[in-house]
Amino acid sequence: MATTKRMTAARSSGLSTRQKNQMPAEHFAFTKKRKEPITDARHVRNAIARFDQVEGVTDAERDAAWKRIRAAARRFGVEIHAKGWRSLMKGGKSGRRR
């Protein structure tokens, strides 16, 4: 049992729910849904990787989120190889294929 707790603590180096709830909406790619925090390079890379999994957002919200992600990527020195968010849409949870 002690090993399981230790392993869980070691893996959960991300933001806690409490930390996310206290963050301003501007620190998320999708501000209204408070999805995909973009507070450091690791979170920016994660937001890009999971972009197609965000459900219930409009194309306009995706455009705005992509702009925030690109700005955060520049700020944290993360290279983005995708030409735009539409090239990231693989049909994830959103079920959209482009």
pLDDT digit string (tens) for 40-87?
Answer: 999 999 999 999 999 999 999 999 999 999 999 999 999 999 989 999
Range of the domain at 47: 24-88
- Asked, for residue 93, whether it belongs to a domain, the answer is no
Q: How would you label 45-78 residue by residue, b for 16+ Cβ within 10 Å and e otherwise?
A: bbbbeebbebeebeeebbebbbebbbebbeeeeb
Q: What percent of the chain has pLDDT over 70?
A: 79
Q: Where are the alpha helices (H) located in 1-97, listed in sequence order?
A: 2-11, 17-22, 41-49, 59-76
Query: Considering the domain boundaries, does residue 9 fall inside one?
Result: no
C-alpha to C-alpha distances, 4 to 14, 52, 87, nearest whole angstrom: 18, 32, 39
Q: What integer pLDDT is reported at residue 26 of this predicted model?
A: 92
pTM, full prediction: 0.77
pLDDT at 93: 59
Residue 6: inside a domain: no
Q: Does residue 34 lie within any of the structural domains?
A: yes
Higher local confidence (pLDDT), 11 or 42: 42
68 is a domain residue: yes
Q: Return the pLDDT at 94.
A: 55
**Domains in the chain, number:** 1
Whether 39 maps to a domain, the answer reads yes
Q: Is residue 71 part of a domain?
A: yes
Whether residue 28 has pLDDT greater than 90: yes
